[in-house]
Amino acid sequence: MLRSRLESACWTGVVTRAAAERAAAGGHVAGIDLNPGMIAVARSLPPVAGAAIEWREASALALPFQDSHFDVVLCQQGLQFFPDKALALREMRRVLRRGGRLALSVWNNAGLYNTAVGKALSSYLSQDVAVRFCASRRAPSGEELQRLVTEAGFAAIDLRIERMTIHLPPVEVFTLDHLSATPVATDIAAAAPLVREEIGHSVKDQLHSYVHDKGVSYPEETHVLTAQVP
């Protein structure tokens, strides 16, 4: 069970709203994101049943909260984006009370879909575009995660790999919709229609073993780490 306060970074709307439902009406949840657009979208959604949510535009490297303020910190698929991961984890440790808990996740590998999209972007646009798209998958290894969390002052660290199956609609269409919401959206928009079509077909061809009549289903892995403030 989550206790009274919780701070959530990354996937702001989804993670924070789920946390608010778990924290219940007497609690308080703060959703943090550096992107003002993400915060604006999160604020525009109808409230959920459960704890009140405070939306804050802020950096994970300088959390706008006093020391020992929260019982739980969640960071889902966000750590890989922080320019100073050690500092971000020290900030998470700082805002947690004694006995407070940390839960974070980062991808375990590049992943089948992202690898396929990266190859298609490299072939039809440029290597630079492919590298920028794949940045979200440049996550710390399991060993590095444990080291960073330990050095930040956490204890009772548990690291495991969670396996799941990802289901997507027809991937040649999904890929272009997805790319339009990523940091390479401008590059995709500037590409000729035939080039965009070729990118979608290339991804489908690379994932042909996982394609079915409703779309594509493929295996995925993520590291999940939990820890506690001693």
Residue-wise pLDDT for 162-218, tens only, equals: 999 999 999 999 999 999 989 899 999 999 999 999 999 999 999 999 999 999 999
The Cα–Cα gap between 34 and 88 comes to 13
Q: Which domains does the chain have, with CATH numbers?
A: 5-109+138-163+219-228 (3.40.50.150)
Which candidate, 21, 7, 30, places its Cα nearest to that of 100?
7
Does the pLDDT of residue 6 top 50, yes or no? no
Q: What is the dihedral of CA 57, 61, 62, 63, to 10 degrees?
A: 60
pLDDT at residue number 142: 95
Q: Give CA torsion, residues 10, 161, 163, 81, to 10 deg.
A: 30
Q: What is the pLDDT of residues 47-85, one digit of tens each?
A: 888 888 899 999 999 999 999 999 999 999 999 989 999
Q: Is residue 3 over pLDDT 70?
A: no
What pLDDT score does 23 carry? 84
- As given in the structure block, the two tokens for residue 151 are 């050095």
Tens-place pLDDT, residues 139-170: 999 999 999 999 999 999 999 999 999 999 99
Region 26-47: what's the mean pLDDT? 85
Q: What torsion do the CA atoms of 138, 144, 148, 151 make, to the nearest 10 degrees? A: -160
Note whether 186 and 133 are within 8 A (CB): no
pTM (predicted TM-score): 0.85
